[in-house]
Structure 1
């Protein structure tokens, strides 16, 4: 049986929202209508929002009411390409495209899964300079296979179940990470308020150097033995060596910029949310090289500080806030942290024996996390395989 393929625009209503003027207090004060911003499109369902607007704002601005159940796609911003579904009537800002399918033609859960699988394609169609965007036209022109509704629901159900498995595995990993963070606080206290009165030293007193690579234009293919890390290799706080690009054929790296087991990596440049992300290298393939936006900590005297203590210190949310304050850059652009500012930042330095005790616990816990992560990676691969099968008619 031939499965019909249709453009989204032929069976969906689409639109975008707007931002009421903040100079008019009557648009926001005591508002009761949820107003969704593109940065809030992070999960499958939108269940809460940060801001509410008034009836007057809907009447007098470009913000339009969107009905419960509608799908939302971020057209630009940090979450560009992400898809979520409303669990209540709401308005949105202009960076969001709302989609409401004809329920007699397309199951909304099936459409959600299709749009989710289409994110790589959507990202490839971004245009613009400082803040690349996806146009509504690109979204409306997406072509989707439309089997009978019963088949759409079957496919969506299979993908939902597979997604639930991988989400549960990820939640288990997050719980172990939370246990590690709680243990850090129990042993050392808040690193910013420093309630236990540890000695304060400058970061530059324990870290000799922050070593980075060069800005390199990477080809799509190469015969080089080297790979260049992407910044995304550390932004999840877990080192991911597969997040890398080909090095040019003639590339000769600085030996100091090659990533090795035991390195602590730091993103010195990224968006506001991801700058200063830190990841520890438990294992790594050979010939992985740092780019210019990633540094590694060089510490010659490890009698003062344990890298695993440093890692959790730099991951701590309160300390991360202090790190983020060091970044500079205009609104909407890449944020940067200079070595000079980072070296001057004060940090607590507990006794080395206590740091080592924490590092021993951390090593054991990360052994469990690694096992869970391998399972999570397998489930991710399975999910992507099911996505491919779902929309090429073989599931």
Structure 2
């Protein structure tokens, strides 16, 4: 379930008058709008606000041909400029240290959280307000970002505060509830973003905001709409929390599957399997056979990667050396966990003498030396490719289930034993890779383990996909 789209659908229904039924006993919004007009005239006469630049002949309601959609008969179209007083802020000079660190909160658009603003890290002084375009906005002001990546981001002040010039504030609203205004602005975010245009610094102006058409319901219906929106949003919050909880459970369960697999507890041992000590002798006659096997089943053998895999890194790119055959090669940016990204494939020259060391063939295990240290994938393609020096190529010295050792690397990475406090803090060197301790189960059991891992992972991956749909 796409909860983001569901929230937007609730908001769309709300501002179209389709979320709650209309009540014929509600005073029509047109009467409400006339009261707004009378109230504004009174404030203009008292000198508390200035008259809008629009002419006296301009209607407070948009022409029917200019409205975005139909609304109920007791609603009315107006503009954001008609239902409130809007102002933007300013940034006091940064070169004047006496302007900062005062007792007046100063909000930047990054502080907006689409909810109640309860904390603003930065503050300015009264002197800064007096000598800049920063203005104090009262408690309850509805704020909206106008610049950059935060366009449309919202907040409601729970205390008086100033803002920078990238923020617009509705400091007083007439015959419209605070939260109806807030939810309308939230529903309109994508439109504001579109009006901001592209470029490195998209932005909208206060003029765009105040001239935006808004459908105005009767006051009692505004209250009913808010209650219904918040009821639905609380329900969606529960869905999202359940999804988050389930995603966490899926992740922990998959991690537990790996833990059981690596320690010989995922599938039962078969007494008919050849002991791993015999397998190790065949893979590498020089390998040490140890009895120190406390963490694994008795038929398993503890060893190190370098005893059972041949490994090396690829070629270092040298722009001055152009001798050789141009070949495609993989970088660490092409290697992801159990998959490859072929969107950008580079080439460099390889000498014939370098190809054996630097060529990857089907079944090789590739491990990143840098970047996301230890990230690994098995090359399961029928065509060969070359590698550069920040990728380790691991090729079995004998009969091994390579996928089992891919999952060991994944397990070590999840436990922060590669690229963390353990092996290879700054990079996974060939020496560090060589010495990584690994278990060696009987070959038949290696394949049974992988079959069970992939069976269980497929089940949990399907759950994950359903949660993300």
TM-score by length of 2: 0.44
Q: CA deviation at 1:127?
A: 3.6
- Cα RMSD, aligned residues only: 4.7
Distance 1:136 1:149, change over 3 A: same
Residue 5 of structure 1 is matched in structure 2 by: 77
| 1:162 matches 2:216 | no
Secondary structure at 2:94's aligned position in 1? coil
Q: What is the CA-CA distance between 1:169 and the residue it aligns to?
A: 2.4
Match of 2:97 in 1: 25
Residue aligning to 2:297 = none
Aligned counterpart in structure 2 of residue 204 of structure 1, from 332, 341, 348: 332
Aligned partner of 1:151 among 221, 239, 252: 221
The structure having more radius of gyration, on CA atoms, is 2
Gaps of 5+ in 2: 1-72, 260-304, 306-311, 314-330, 346-371, 373-392, 396-401, 420-425, 440-449
Structure 1 residue 53: Cα displacement: 1.8
Partner residue, 1:140: 210
* Secondary structure in 1 matching 2:150: coil
Q: Structure 1 residues 165 and 308, CA, compared in 2 at 3 Å: closer, same or farther?
A: farther
Q: Deviations over 1:105-150 (max 9, x none)?
A: 1111111111111112212211463111111111111111222111
Q: Are the aligned partners of 1:306 and 1:359 in contact in 2 as well (CA < 8 Å)?
A: no
For 1:55 and 1:184, locate their aligned partners in 2 and report how far apart those are by CA, in whole Å.
Answer: 57
| SS of 2:223 mapped into structure 1 | helix
Per-residue CA distance 1:357-390 (angstroms, 9 max, x = gap):
999998777666555555xxxxxxxxxxxxxxxx
Matching of residues 280-319 of structure 1 within 5 Å: 303=403, 305=406, 309=410
1:113 — aligned with what?
183
Could you tell me whether the CA contact under 8 Å between 1:42 and 1:82 is conserved in 2? yes
Residue deviations 1:286-339 (CA, integer Å, cap 9, x gap) = xxxxxxxxxxxxx998756459959x97xx9xx9xxxxxxxxxxxxxxxxxxxx
Closer, same or farther in 2 for the Cα pair 1:206/1:44, shift >3 Å?
same
SS in 2 for 1:134: coil
The correspondence for 1:16, drawn from 88, 97, 118, is 88
The answer to whether 1:96 aligns with 2:167 is yes
State whether residues 87 and 171 of structure 2, in contact with CA within 8 Å, keep that contact through their aligned partners in structure 1: no
Q: 1:65 deviation in Å?
A: 0.8
Q: CA separation of 1:6/1:177 partners in 2, compared to 1, >3 Å: closer, same or farther?
A: same
The alpha-carbon distance between structure 1 residues 25 and 143, as it changes in their structure 2 partners (threshold 3 A), is same
Give the conservation status (yes or no) of the 8 Å contact 2:176–2:219.
yes
Q: Report how many residues are paired.
A: 250
Q: Secondary structure at the match of 2:127?
A: helix
Which deviations, in whole Å up to 9, do the C-alpha atoms of 1:147-191 show, x marking residues without a partner?
211111111111111112212322344455567889999999xxx
Contact 2:250 2:464 in 1 (8 A): no
Q: TM-score, normalised by structure 1?
A: 0.51
In 1: Cα distance, 2:409 partner to 2:161 partner? 44
